[in-house]
Amino acid sequence: MKTITIASIVKNEEGLYEGNLKHYFKIVFEKATNLFNDYHNFRHMFHVVYYCFVAIRYYGDRITKLEARAILIAAMFHDFNHPGKTGDDDLNIMRALRGLLRNLLPEDKVLFPLITEIIQATEYPYTVPGEKLPLLCQIIRDADMSQAFSVSWIQQIAFGLAREMGITPRAVLESQGKFLGSVKFLTEWAKQEFPKEVVEAKVAEANALLDCLA
């Protein structure tokens, strides 16, 4: 299967959605104010884009090409212009939606209500139980959570998220065992991508790092 890159997603080289996303990539790359944030940065936004794309591959014809376009735009903009501080996530969602609306292509206006619904599913703490969400919203929520299991998790979470939360990296590590152990992915795709043994290995890794700090 073809290797996934940011460019291959943006240019739609696999033809999995309608059109391409060059316009939106250019807006994020050149205009987003959060690209250098400690956690809610370019890497995080495109981590979510990447895994939403992986899910689109997984579900095939269960997701239409227009729905695929909608979720990828939502992923690209879900933290657009994030202030780099935790809390008030409803305002962060509103900021992201305003930024997208200012740059929305005319042909995507019909998708804006769906994109809005998908982005709103990422508001944290969650306001709607995951089991009640439609598939596209479950996918982006799982993709958003999956940053904790990436190879960059120490930089992104132990240091980056710690700074945005205003706590120490050690405090974040100390919370990881309980937090990661409580993660419950919603979709078939995420449960296969991040099975129980992956979660348990990440908990063990966090605990091992704490032992190194003892």
How confident is the model at residue 162, as a pLDDT?
Answer: 96
SS3 state of residue 85: coil
Q: Is the pTM of this model over 0.85?
A: yes
CATH fold for the domain made of 6-213: Catalytic domain of cyclic nucleotide phosphodiesterase 4b2b (1.10.1300)
In this model, does residue 1 exceed pLDDT 80? no
- To which H or E segment does residue 22 belong? helix 22-31
Token pair for residue 28?
């994020």
Q: What is the sign of the dihedral through the CA atoms of 133, 91, 163 and 28?
A: positive
pLDDT band at residue 52, thresholds of 50, 70 and 90?
very high
Cβ(13)–Cβ(5) below 8 Å? no
In whole angstroms, what is the distance from residue 19 CA to residue 9 CA? 11
Can you spell out the DSSP letters for 114-169?
HHHHHHHTT-SS-SS-GGGS-HHHHHHHHHHHGGGGSTTHIIIIIIIIHHHHTS-H
pLDDT tens digits along 127-159: 899 999 999 999 999 999 999 999 889 999 999
pLDDT tens digits along 153-179: 999 999 999 999 999 999 999 999 888
Q: What's the whole-number mean pLDDT along residues 62-73?
A: 98
